[in-house]
Amino acid sequence: MKVRKAVITAAGWGTRFLPATKAQPKEMLPLLDKPIIQYIVEEAVASGIEQIIIITALGKHAIENHFDRTFELENFLEKKHDDKSLEEVRRISDLASICYIRQKEQLGLGHAVLIAEDLVGNEPFALFLPDDIIEADVPAMKQMLQIYDRYGSSVVAVEEVAPESTGAYGIVEPRQVEERVYEALRLVEKPAPEEAPSNLGIVGRYIINPEIFGILHNTPAGRGGEIQITDGLHQLSKEQKIYAYRFIGRRYDTGNPLGLLKASVEMAMRDPTLGPTFRAFLGSLQVP
């Protein structure tokens, strides 16, 4: 079955960015000239996704406004004859068919996925975590859809992580089936380094078959008292195969201030417009 729908989780408080996120969604923080969540929506669209479901929460109206039409702004830009900006703001509102649903309690990623059950229906779906921005010649989700089409089973994106960092990731126990593709024999949420079955950490891209919903309804709270998607996927792996795909691309973790700063600097240096001037500026810095 074709994967037509994507779920994007955007309901967190963004506490690592306080006070910047006190009145602004973390997902709307800028990465160069676009909010973080726009990169995710653009990746979904570039991967062939037809409908996007964004899980939001209290105080997230800015996300909805960003992807909506803003007639007053468009009228202002028209009168200013700023055709370039006008084209861009109209392009954003026309990117995709987007619907929104609220997660009223922060009970974990697995719970957020359950919130979207009625909108997803009995279909496989893509799942995006906005903290992870992935730069790739072929969008990471499009790469994963090719794996899904080949095997017809759920796929999680993985990358090699430092052994001492396994406690920050879901970790898979892999059995290689082809280059960059592994059967996930076991999925473990945030294991200590001595308990981790490998150093392949799950990052913010998933394609999941709809059977996950029935499992999540019966998945008890795990680490942090939350319903963990990794625990649900581990249970699903006992009923059908799950594959891990080591994607081709560069991932940035923008879910913390240092990660967002690193992403901003690296992407600015490569930007064809900003890059030359920005690199010259960095070269001129004299840090005491």
pLDDT at 170: 93
- 3-class DSSP state of 209: coil
Q: Between 97 and 225, whose confidence is greater?
A: 97
Residue matched to tokens 């279909």: 123
Structure tokens at 72: 């007053």
Structure tokens at 97: 């068919």
Q: Could you tell me what percent of the chain has a pLDDT over 90?
A: 83
Beta-strand runs (E) in the chain: 5-9, 30-31, 34-35, 51-56, 97-102, 125-128, 132-135, 154-160, 170-178, 181-189, 200-208, 242-246, 250-253
pLDDT digits (tens, 9 = 90+) for 130-170: 999 999 999 999 999 999 999 999 999 999 999 999 999 99
Mean local confidence (pLDDT), 99-105: 91
- 200 vs 41: CA distance, rounded Å: 26
Structure tokens at 198: 């490998």
pLDDT digits (tens, 9 = 90+) for 16-67: 999 999 989 999 999 999 999 999 999 999 999 999 999 999 889 999 999 9
- Return the number of other C-beta atoms located less than 10 Å from residue 45's C-beta: 17
Structure tokens at 107: 């009970």
Residue 172 one-letter amino acid? V
- Is this structure's pTM higher than 0.75? yes
Peptide bond connecting 272 to the previous residue in cis, omega within 30 degrees of 0:
no
Domains of the chain by start residue, with CATH: 5-255 (3.90.550.10), 256-288 (no CATH)
Q: Could you tell me what percent of the chain has a pLDDT over 70?
A: 100
Contact 11, 112 (CB under 8 A): yes
Instruction: Please name every residue paired with 154 in a beta bridge, in sequence order, or none if there are none.
Output: 242
Mean local confidence (pLDDT), 80-85: 91
Mean local confidence (pLDDT), 83-100: 90
- Closest by CA to 239, choosing from 203, 217, 214, 207, is 214
pLDDT digits (tens, 9 = 90+) for 225-274: 788 999 999 999 999 999 999 999 999 999 999 999 999 999 999 999 99
- Closest by CA to 40, choosing from 213, 29, 233, is 29
